[in-house]
């Protein structure tokens, strides 16, 4: 019987990359797997054919030999040509987690026993702080619920005076093996759930789980300059491991409350300050808010509304501890809502004298149409 082209078997082109080949094999394996098609000889043959094709095309050296010499270059005629039974050792990984879903994640001989030490899970905690705390740094205590090693049985899950026993069904291997066609199939033992051990007298404190739910108080140091969304990693403060495995880590995700005046962009701060028209026209000094202190800006005569001033090093501190950002201050005209009769008369007189200043439309491509932050970048670079 003439063997089909391996690329044709998987339905991919000869220029297909490793990911495309793996994806094509995964689809075929899930479709034609014998467990999903019991007694279907045609499906079984297609499954074997796909496995053989993948075993060749997934190996760069074998693929190169096949591309140059065809089936003859990969040992055609010697049993299932080019087929490597060890390909199934990684079958669960190829399925990308679907193997456990369909019940054959540990199906083939490469399955691993689950009874050894395992690392504990990582945990996440969302911490909200104020804007001022993000600027100056803070230290706070949080309560973290997590799974910890049972203090009664010390993680064994067995009652005092007893211990886990070797599983009689699998003999401590954690798997049950049997022959299917030309390769060995292994399934996770249902009695011990792959651990190879069975607890006959469970601990009364953890009911055999080896861990109990507790709440731990942890002190978190938040560095100055931290921004919303940044994470702090606290090593070893996640859930405890299994069977003596190391604990996971705790990731504290920081959320920062908005400030009523400042808008943050990186380490820079932006704010707006209302300035009376006479100050913009004649010049003067304007107080400007800052972080934990107040600054002043000298306004030159004739300053236009919307102008921005840069105060170097007056922004947020860098979370790395090196330097600070800048503070950008935009000037807005402060227009009085009510005028006295005398003030109105003076303003009208001023308006008559400003004959060269006339109202008119602003072109859409002018700087006035740009967002404030973009205009600041254009000005200061």
What is the pLDDT at residue 127?
Answer: 95
Least confident of 69-78, 132-141, 269-278: 69-78
Q: Please give the pLDDT value at position 363.
A: 64
**Verdict on whether the full-model pTM lies above 0.75:** no
Phi, psi values for residue 35, rounded to 5°: -65, -25
Instruction: Enumerate the H helices of the chain as residue ranges.
Output: 6-10, 18-32, 41-57, 60-69, 91-94, 98-102, 131-136, 277-282, 341-353, 372-380
pLDDT band at 231 (very low <50, low <70, confident <90, very high): very high
Q: Can you point out the beta strands (E) in the chain?
A: 123-129, 138-149, 165-166, 175-180, 183-188, 197-198, 211-222, 231-234, 250-256, 263-265, 268-276, 284-289, 294-299, 308-311, 327-334
Strand pairing of 327-334 and 268-276? parallel
Question: Dihedrals φ, ψ of 42, to 5°?
Answer: -65, -40
pLDDT band, residue 181 (cuts 50/70/90): low
- CA angle at 77 for the pair 72 and 83, rounded to the nearest 5°: 85
pLDDT digits (tens, 9 = 90+) for 271-297: 999 999 899 999 999 999 998 889 999
Nearest to 224 by CA among 362, 109, 321, 361: 321
Mean pLDDT, residues 63-80: 68
pLDDT at 265: 93
Q: Which residue segments constitute the domains of the chain, with CATH numbers given?
A: 6-102 (1.10.287.110), 115-160+208-258 (2.60.260.20), 263-380 (2.60.260.20)
For the cut 60, the answer to whether the pLDDT of residue 378 exceeds it is no
| pLDDT, mean of residues 219-247 | 91
* pLDDT tens figures, 85-124: 334 434 444 444 444 444 444 444 444 445 567 888 999 9
For residue 365, the model assigns a pLDDT of: 58
Of 99-103, 245-249, 374-378, where does the model show the most confidence? 245-249
Question: What is the end-to-end Cα distance of the chain in Å, rounded?
Answer: 73
Question: Which residue is it, tokens 């973290």?
Answer: 144
pLDDT value for 112: 46
Buried b (16+ CB within 10 A) or exposed e, 168-196: eebebbbbeeeeeeebebbbbbeebebbb
Q: In this predicted model, which residue has the larger pLDDT, 71 or 334?
A: 334
Ramachandran quadrant class, 29 (left: phi over 0; alpha: psi -120 to 50; beta: rest): alpha
Distance separating alpha carbons of residues 34 and 230, to the nearest angstrom: 48
Q: Mean pLDDT throughout 174-187?
A: 72
pLDDT-derived band of residue 187, with 50, 70 and 90 as boundaries? confident
d(CA 130, CA 291): 13
233 has pLDDT over 90: yes
Residues 6+ apart with CB under 8 A from 323: 267, 313, 317
For residue 236, CA distances in Å to 247, 251, 330 come to 5, 10, 47
CB count within 10 Å of CB 8 equals: 10
3-state secondary structure of 21: helix
**Which long-range contacts (C-beta less than 8 Å, at least 24 apart) are formed by 289-293?**
289/261, 289/262, 290/314, 290/327, 291/132, 291/135, 291/136, 291/262, 291/315, 291/316, 292/132, 292/135, 292/136
Q: How far is CA 4 from the centre of its chain?
A: 43
* Contact residues for 340 (Cβ-Cβ < 8 A; gap 6+): none
The predicted structure's pLDDT at residue 272: 93
- Paired tokens of 225: 């300059």
Is the model's pLDDT at 75 over the cut of 70? no
């Amino acid at each position: 019987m003439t063997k089909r082209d391996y690329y044709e078997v998987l339905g991919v082109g000869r220029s297909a990359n490793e990911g495309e080949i793996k994806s094509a094999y995964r689809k075929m394996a899930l479709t034609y797997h014998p467990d999903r098609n019991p007694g279907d000889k045609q499906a079984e043959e297609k499954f074997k054919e796909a496995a053989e094709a993948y075993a060749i095309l997934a190996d760069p050296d074998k693929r190169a030999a096949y591309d140059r010499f065809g089936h003859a270059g990969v040992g055609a005629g010697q049993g299932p040509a080019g087929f490597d039974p060890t390909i199934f050792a990684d079958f669960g990984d190829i399925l990308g987690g679907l193997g456990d879903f369909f019940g054959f994640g540990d199906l083939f001989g490469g399955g691993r026993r689950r009874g050894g030490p395992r690392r504990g899970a990582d945990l996440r905690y969302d911490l909200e702080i104020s804007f001022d705390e993000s600027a100056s740094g803070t230290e706070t205590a949080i309560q973290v619920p997590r799974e910890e090693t049972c203090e009664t049985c010390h993680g064994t899950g067995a009652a005092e005076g007893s211990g886990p026993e070797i599983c009689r069904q699998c003999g401590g291997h954690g798997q049950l093996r049997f022959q299917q066609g030309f390769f060995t199939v292994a399934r996770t033992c249902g009695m011990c759930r792959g651990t190879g051990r069975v607890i006959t007298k469970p601990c009364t404190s953890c009911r055999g789980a080896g861990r109990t739910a507790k709440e731990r108080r942890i002190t978190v140091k938040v560095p100055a300059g931290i921004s919303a969304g940044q994470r702090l990693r606290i090593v070893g403060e996640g859930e405890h491991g299994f069977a003596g495995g190391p604990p996971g880590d705790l990731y504290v995700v920081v959320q920062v409350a908005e400030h009523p005046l400042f808008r943050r962009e990186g380490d820079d701060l932006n704010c707006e300050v209302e300035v009376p028209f006479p100050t913009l026209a004649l010049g003067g000094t304007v107080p400007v808010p800052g972080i934990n202190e107040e600054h002043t800006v000298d306004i030159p005569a004739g300053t236009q509304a919307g102008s921005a001033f840069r105060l170097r090093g007056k922004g947020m501190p860098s979370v790395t501890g090196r330097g600070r950002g800048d503070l950008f201050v935009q000037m807005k005209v402060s227009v009085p809502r009510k005028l006295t009769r005398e003030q109105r008369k003076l303003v009208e007189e001023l308006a008559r004298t400003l004959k060269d200043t006339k109202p008119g439309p602003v072109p859409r491509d002018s700087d006035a149409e740009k967002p404030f932050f973009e205009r600041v970048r254009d000005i200061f670079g």
